[in-house]
Amino acid sequence: MKLELQRVWEQVIEGNKAGVEVAVRAARGAALTPEQILNEGLIAAMTEVGNRFERQEFYVPEMLVSARAMQAGLALLKPQLMESGVKAVGKVVLGTVRGDLHDIGKSLVGMMLEGAGFEVIDLGTDVGPEKFGEAVRTHRPQLVGMSALLTTTMQNMKSTLEALEDLGVRSQVKVMVGGAPVTESFAREIGADGFAPDASRAVALAKSLL
Ligand code: B1M
């Protein structure tokens, strides 16, 4: 791994927000692309944080400081990750499902969708089925995007889809799902219209669903 990327990786693991900012700027200065810094630096580090959590070398506070540090790096990359000057191609209501507080992946998906010209209404985290339904009625999007990071909360994607049916708005929108434990077959099983494993493929999927 390039030294600059190694530095980004280390600073996220250490949860050093200021250190991540310095390292991301240095990586940009060394002509590394935003995608390289994101995938091989920031995201790779969060994967390692998760592994350490599983091995009980890290606990929730360490995960949290690493997440904050990663978000600081992400904020610096945001302008470059977003393509500029693209007209609104569609509207997406996006959120992390009920019971789930993980927001980095969802925010990244939102950022990339905005960059590709979508208007994104980000409902945040811990979004219940009724709130998704209400947002569809109010904002009339073409797409609904749900994110889940826990095997327990991914089940709430199904209840959200059911709520959209009950409210009579399911046929008005295409629903896409994603998040670490979510798979293509799970998406099919619950009746979603599509699944994407990462943010750039979420953009491609959103475009194809329109
Ligand atoms: Co949590 N956590 N966490 N955590 N956390 C995981 C998810 C875990 C895998 C860690 C582990 O054990 N290895 C594990 C889940 C196990 C499981 O369910 N099988 C776990 C656990 C157990 C927990 C708690 C229960 C811990 C506890 O309290 N005992 C707790 C739950 C809280 C809750 O939500 N109710 C918890 C808490 C937290 C923090 C709050 C400390 C923090 C989140 C902070 C925040 O988001 N602001 C946190 C973190 C940081 C993680 C890890 C380390 C990193 C997640 C992350 O941000 N990844 C994570 C381990 C891991 O994933 N390796 C872990 C980077 C991000 C860019 O990737 O979110 O996957 P990701 O998003 C990707 C794709 O999935 C996809 O695109 C994104 C970009 O490529 N994608 C979509 C995501 N959403 C999409 C939507 C789409 C399409 C694609 O369409 C709409």
pLDDT at 85: 52
The pLDDT of residue 191 is 98
User: What pLDDT does 88 receive?
Assistant: 63
Atom 85 (ligand 1) nearest CA = 178
Ligand 1 atom closest to 181 (CA): 19
Output the CA angle 167-171-175, nearest 5 degrees: 95
Please give the order of strands across the beta sheet that includes 90-96: 118-122, 90-96, 143-147, 174-178, 194-195
**DSSP-assigned letters across all residues of 93-158:** EEEEBTT----HHHHHHHHHHHHTTEEEEE--SSB-HHHHHHHHHHH--SEEEEE--STTTTHHHH
Classify 194 as helix, strand or coil: strand
CA atoms within 13 A on the CB side of 150: 13
Identify which of 54, 63, 98 to mutate to test ligand 1's pocket (most ligand atoms within 8 A of the CB).
63
Residue 205 in contact with ligand 1 by CB distance below 6 A: no
Q: How far apart are CA 114 and CA 118, in angstroms?
A: 5
Nearest residue by C-alpha to atom 29 in ligand 1: 60
pLDDT in tens, the chain (210 residues): 889 999 999 999 999 999 999 999 999 999 999 999 999 999 999 889 989 998 999 998 998 899 899 999 999 998 888 765 556 689 999 999 999 999 999 998 998 888 788 999 999 999 999 999 999 999 999 999 999 999 999 999 999 999 999 999 999 999 999 999 999 999 999 999 999 999 889 999 999 999
Cα separation, 73 vs 44, in Å, equals: 13
81 lines ligand 1 (CB under 6 A): no
The structure's pTM equals: 0.91
Measured CA to CA, the distance from residue 23 to residue 124 in angstroms comes to: 28
